[in-house]
Structure 1
């Protein structure tokens, strides 16, 4: 018996310990769905730079500027020792980017277009002060580097030539396509911080596109293009020169044909490291696997750094490698993840980092002594955070958070994700990321949306890649699976996999995607009658192909995708290179193949409702492709089709309004054709907060059969609650009708002070007014009664909760400003006092709950009508007796204008 007793006791103790974890998991299901605004506001660090003394990190971070309708980049700073919040160094309406520490660490230089919308170099002290313009350039500065503490080298074009000024004066803006005569040189210049003079360093007749300066300031490697056809035609290649910064002599380096290095980075020891891609189709500029090389200036010897890894370096969104303090750090391509590895330069040995955070890094930078590293970490369902850690063998130690980003997503539902594999045609193994429905239950079937990445030589990594282009967490919250597929041709799976689709475009990718869907259907997870597809660029190209190959898809959202490879050859900015590579050569030599490969000529097979979205200035996937796609479907009338153009946008949407509209259009399309829900794209003629909007939202209010706000629980009228930030909050303050139900069961309750209340009943016709004349004792009594009647725990809001809600409030509510018709100043209150008192006597100035638009999502009257009691007895929020001037110190109103709302604990 004793043994049995102790077993039971241990079991109960174990459940007690586990209960906080269980409750946390239960609450996860109640987190609010991700919104379009959440996506737009995701925080991510870019351009990480470590200070010379290894104590401070700076980086670039974008934030939303609604007024300018774009994201603004600013520079942030944090101490790698931790203990302090990050500091924002730059502010304003213009972006600041490309931050560079001076060699002595005393200044930070950066680019900004804050003057005349031209990119100029500014400097700022890291520990205080305003940024100052270093000098004014007549033309945009493309990039720059510190040569030493007193000299900056920068890249720009020459000032406008005489013929250009003449054309401007004549308002002649005609352009000659591929005109070598207007291919204006871009050259290197230096600026001395001592004598304030600019010096021309190169006289090249081509365009330098980027450069890098050695740590000792003696050398620069410059990268050149000599034709406007570079990028379009693969026979035009970059050239590389070593510039002696002492005598300004230049010699060409890396002269091996098709050797095209990028991401050039000097080590402190004078070694230049860089990436070059290995491809079997170099003459056609085919995609390749990234390999690491080193170049010794003294010996002029260039050689590959052996990775002992056939798939090459893993592709990251940020830095691919770094080299400092006797080590090189990079990642190895392994599909959706990239494992961090360290090269010890003294013995040539690679060590794989076996740390939990070492496989999901999207950017990093080493300390200058190579002992530590700052890095950006995330997974597909964990938002970006910025960390710093020290190397300890093959692990990190002393890891600290430098920037706890994306706090706004703490209460947002982020779904489960699994990395999955399946077999496609020819026994090919395909890998992808599966995002689960919010309310997933094993054994049930759900809709599936396949999201297809662009490229094709890119991939879906296991990082928090949520953006305006792809947003799986919004779709998962609609109770759908989302499958990201790394189809044949994707990067990060080796050269053979990447090159497999060359000459076989569509032939492998489409079966890879369909087999992934079928594998999930075969497991009983996906409803085969509820399939959708979406993608941008090559993701759209393959989504379009799916709609021509099968009738299985109920919906397709296609952003910037090709349908006609014949017209692409001439219209695309790199059409010659791309189409010659993937479609066997030029179309005049392979006309039948081009026609057979172009979905445009199969549009008669499409029955899938198709949404098409393009920027109207896209030259990557030319906008004409969207017109051809749309017009074919529109004329054939076999499938619903909608074509949305974003004015002034290139291939990647830049304006916030367009990014939002793209997502809203797609979500409405999915709702209509996949989820069978009513959803509308924001109507440009419909004004939020208008009387029409207010009345329409009132249709969502809960009423009893007599028109009283609230819900009926066992014949009792109680407050309606709604989800807000993980809580169930009263949609309105407690109404008179709801409080009257309490009074009927508590006939001896002291009603002294309650407005318009006689004999436990309120004045007729005021049932939906907030009960007022309330003190803390009365409010608590009601909450206790409501808890006992329903079996749920009701309480008053905490003051910190109310403070947060009040900060989030929108628009105007029932205050004296409403009654006066204008914004009242404190001086005018006394002049209106007689009128206010007459109105109070005649009809009162408290209005029915929900009279105005919502204060925050689904919650009303937080900052007007009556002020509200919190659990600690404090009173917050404006009332009908307050003015709206935020500068006015807050004083609670009299008890006549005090009410309360409830919170139901889960």
Structure 2
């Protein structure tokens, strides 16, 4: 069949997306989550699927409107646990569901008032440890009943704490309730046990030793998202006593015990105020700590990338890391050597899981011109790439250029399948968010901007991995310190100039767009430059002071600007798009969610009002009920259609 069209916006929205992988029964079964779109209901549906090697069959655990996520197989048992939303429509809470395959199709084994955040199986498979958020106190309930809802800012937090539910007890409870008359009781009776007290600290990550006797907890004093004071505790599960380990710094939530239970591995992630003070040769991206000796026994720092541990197996520590515009998995040996597995060449391995012996690894991998697929070891076990069988695909290549201040920038360049080197194309620059993230040479990974549709309309597209992007080393990661906007603009415009010099693009037909941090850079381009024909600002920062006093992550601003606006107003002015508003002249589309706590909507109104007062063509679209990112297919569709129309009209 002849391929005649690129992926449409509606087709992009309806493309399945695979995530959350788990391997079980000694490598004989794999579970994963497939996200699909229900356009009629304007909702995304997440369902757990299972693949059995014996018989080579796939089947879903849930279907229809009942969603599921986060599957995990019990050690050496034919039990699968996953999370599903349970309860009344207005009081839906995430609870753990157990499927035993031989007896129960799916029973609810937790009844947490605030829902389950995340969970892991106990090593013996007899129970599940999970974290949940503390419920309203009786005092707070009375206050709400008496006065209504209000909040003491920066004083009222809810902490996450550790709980345990035994499988046998949960099953017995379910049987008891099943034998009673229908309607007498709902859910299971209380069989959950609190392991930690939420008044002590808030748990960000945890793991259980292989003998089931110890837990390691990554904690912050409060549940406030801005709280960076991380501590690591070792918990004796039987006595519920814990001691603080002699580990300093900030950590990701991923932490794992060694098979013998004597060591732990974790990733250090330096944050404010130390983020930009670390020297490159002193960066520690992965660290092994001996619990008994109370000392670090191995550091992996040669890679100069953030390395995240997945699981400590008998063959080594399974890890994942970003390598420029690729994502890889590998094993770290006892002596700190790292080796890549199943990730040669250009690829993006999104997630992975392994059996405890390290002999079997399941992972989600995206390769050139392919969709996300599930692999078991080196064997592909899904066929999601069939969505491209009858579609034209843009040609994606990695482009490298230099900035005036001597930085090497890499970006993804997308061209039409029938690219004509004798023709000059209009250019659209699509800027990723983060800033510690990146763009990858993968089709339809961007669900905010319709890159394939831009290509079909005659554009070429550049996605720059500007300074501060992850995967290019710690020095590059810190190059945007106190250089936000100014340095970012140089990275974007030098990429544009590089394409002009190559004779690829029409210099008078260039547009730029981005979301979140990409939206901020686009806003900076809108006020700082006259080089563009049209601009789109998605959930972007327009004024750093406005952002600082409204956002839920004020630490972000201090990390990147190195100060508060009160002790260094000059750096806030220098890096704010609104400082340059009087020179703005480019038609600008602004898109923002009215419930965005990360980049609150006053940023959008401030930019829009400034452009309107200066009589610069501009449109502001505020999406009701939307937070920092769209959460419904209809919102994705509207955002992409508005951008397609805007840039076709103006560029």
User: Is 2:25–2:78's contact at 8 Å kept on the other side of the alignment?
Assistant: no
For 2:116 and 2:372, the matched residues in 1 are separated by 31
Corresponding residue of 2:354:
366
Corresponding residue of 2:566:
588
User: Is 2:305–2:323's contact at 8 Å kept on the other side of the alignment?
Assistant: no
Corresponding residue of 2:139:
163
1:302 to 2:275 alignment? no
Corresponding residue of 1:260:
251
For 1:267 and 1:277, the matched residues in 2 are separated by 21
| 1:495 aligned residue (474, 477, 490) | 474
What does the per-residue CA deviation read over 1:113-158, in whole Å, with 9 as the maximum and x for residues that have no partner? 1323111111013478521111433331222222233322232244
Corresponding residue of 1:799:
none
| 2:210 aligned residue (201, 211, 215) | 215
Corresponding residue of 2:37:
64
Corresponding residue of 1:663:
640
What does the per-residue CA deviation read over 1:312-331, in whole Å, with 9 as the maximum and x for residues that have no partner? 246xxxx7544323222335
Which secondary structure state, in structure 1, belongs to the residue aligned with residue 440 of structure 2?
coil
For 1:185 and 1:262, the matched residues in 2 are separated by 15
For 2:538 and 2:315, the matched residues in 1 are separated by 46
Corresponding residue of 1:45:
18
Provide TM-score, normalisation by structure 1.
0.65
Cα 1:165/1:329, change in 2 over 3 Å: closer
1:191 to 2:165 alignment? yes
For 2:309 and 2:9, the matched residues in 1 are separated by 31
User: Is 2:608–2:620's contact at 8 Å kept on the other side of the alignment?
Assistant: yes
For 2:332 and 2:567, the matched residues in 1 are separated by 48
Corresponding residue of 1:643:
620
User: Is 1:80–1:402's contact at 8 Å kept on the other side of the alignment?
Assistant: no
Which secondary structure state, in structure 1, belongs to the residue aligned with residue 518 of structure 2?
helix
1:94 to 2:83 alignment? no
Corresponding residue of 2:596:
618
For 1:287 and 1:171, the matched residues in 2 are separated by 52
For 2:481 and 2:329, the matched residues in 1 are separated by 30
Cα 1:217/1:465, change in 2 over 3 Å: farther
Query: 83-92 or 126-135, which moves further after superposition?
Result: 126-135
| 1:312 aligned residue (291, 305, 311) | 305
Deviation at 1:537?
Answer: 0.7
1:520 to 2:499 alignment? yes
Cα 1:139/1:561, change in 2 over 3 Å: closer
Which secondary structure state, in structure 1, belongs to the residue aligned with residue 422 of structure 2?
coil
What does the per-residue CA deviation read over 1:677-727, in whole Å, with 9 as the maximum and x for residues that have no partner? xxxxxxxxxxxxxxxxxxxxxxxxxxxxxxxxxxxxxxxxxxxxxxxxxxx
Which secondary structure state, in structure 1, belongs to the residue aligned with residue 211 of structure 2?
coil
Cα 1:279/1:198, change in 2 over 3 Å: closer
Deviation at 1:195?
Answer: 3.8
Runs of 5+ consecutive residues of structure 1 not aligned to the other structure: 1-23, 390-398, 675-906
User: Is 2:159–2:222's contact at 8 Å kept on the other side of the alignment?
Assistant: no
For 2:464 and 2:133, the matched residues in 1 are separated by 43
| 1:239 aligned residue (212, 231, 234) | 231
Corresponding residue of 2:531:
552
Matches within 5 A, 1:844-863: none
For 1:433 and 1:647, the matched residues in 2 are separated by 33
For 1:378 and 1:522, the matched residues in 2 are separated by 32
Corresponding residue of 2:176:
none
For 2:216 and 2:638, the matched residues in 1 are separated by 43
Which secondary structure state, in structure 1, belongs to the residue aligned with residue 642 of structure 2?
helix
Which secondary structure state, in structure 1, belongs to the residue aligned with residue 372 of structure 2?
strand
Cα 1:375/1:227, change in 2 over 3 Å: closer
Query: 289-298 or 370-379, which moves further after superposition?
Result: 289-298
Corresponding residue of 1:568:
547
Deviation at 1:40?
Answer: 1.5
Deviation at 1:643?
Answer: 0.5
For 1:630 and 1:566, the matched residues in 2 are separated by 17
Deviation at 1:406?
Answer: 4.4
For 2:265 and 2:17, the matched residues in 1 are separated by 26
Corresponding residue of 1:272:
264
User: Is 1:238–1:260's contact at 8 Å kept on the other side of the alignment?
Assistant: yes
For 2:459 and 2:102, the matched residues in 1 are separated by 49
1:335 to 2:324 alignment? yes
Deviation at 1:648?
Answer: 1.0
For 1:280 and 1:670, the matched residues in 2 are separated by 38
Cα 1:667/1:212, change in 2 over 3 Å: same
Cα 1:524/1:356, change in 2 over 3 Å: same
Deviation at 1:373?
Answer: 2.0
For 1:374 and 1:128, the matched residues in 2 are separated by 27
Deviation at 1:290?
Answer: 7.0
For 2:382 and 2:393, the matched residues in 1 are separated by 20
User: Is 2:17–2:36's contact at 8 Å kept on the other side of the alignment?
Assistant: no
Cα 1:85/1:471, change in 2 over 3 Å: farther
| 2:382 aligned residue (403, 426, 430) | 403
| 1:124 aligned residue (92, 99, 106) | 99
For 1:103 and 1:329, the matched residues in 2 are separated by 18
What does the per-residue CA deviation read over 1:476-508, in whole Å, with 9 as the maximum and x for residues that have no partner? 121211001011121111111111111222232
Q: By percentage of residues, which structure has more strand?
A: 2
Cα 1:157/1:378, change in 2 over 3 Å: closer
Cα 1:305/1:453, change in 2 over 3 Å: same
Corresponding residue of 1:471:
450
Deviation at 1:658?
Answer: 1.2
User: Is 2:258–2:312's contact at 8 Å kept on the other side of the alignment?
Assistant: yes
Runs of 4+ in 1 over 4 A off after TM superposition: 126-129, 278-281, 283-290, 352-359
For 1:462 and 1:474, the matched residues in 2 are separated by 16
Deviation at 1:58?
Answer: 0.8
Runs of 5+ consecutive residues of structure 2 not aligned to the other structure: 171-190
For 2:344 and 2:504, the matched residues in 1 are separated by 30
Deviation at 1:342?
Answer: 3.1
Deviation at 1:596?
Answer: 2.7
For 1:158 and 1:547, the matched residues in 2 are separated by 44
For 1:169 and 1:287, the matched residues in 2 are separated by 53
Which secondary structure state, in structure 2, belongs to the residue aligned with residue 156 of structure 1?
strand
Corresponding residue of 2:173:
none
| 2:9 aligned residue (19, 36, 50) | 36
User: Is 1:287–1:457's contact at 8 Å kept on the other side of the alignment?
Assistant: no
Matches within 5 A, 1:891-906: none
Root mean square deviation of aligned Cα:
2.6
Which secondary structure state, in structure 1, belongs to the residue aligned with residue 405 of structure 2?
helix
User: Is 1:385–1:405's contact at 8 Å kept on the other side of the alignment?
Assistant: yes
* Equivalent pairs, count: 623
For 2:522 and 2:480, the matched residues in 1 are separated by 16
Cα 1:516/1:408, change in 2 over 3 Å: same
Corresponding residue of 1:723:
none
User: Is 1:378–1:464's contact at 8 Å kept on the other side of the alignment?
Assistant: no
Which secondary structure state, in structure 1, belongs to the residue aligned with residue 269 of structure 2?
strand
For 2:458 and 2:57, the matched residues in 1 are separated by 37
Cα 1:35/1:320, change in 2 over 3 Å: farther
User: Is 1:211–1:221's contact at 8 Å kept on the other side of the alignment?
Assistant: yes
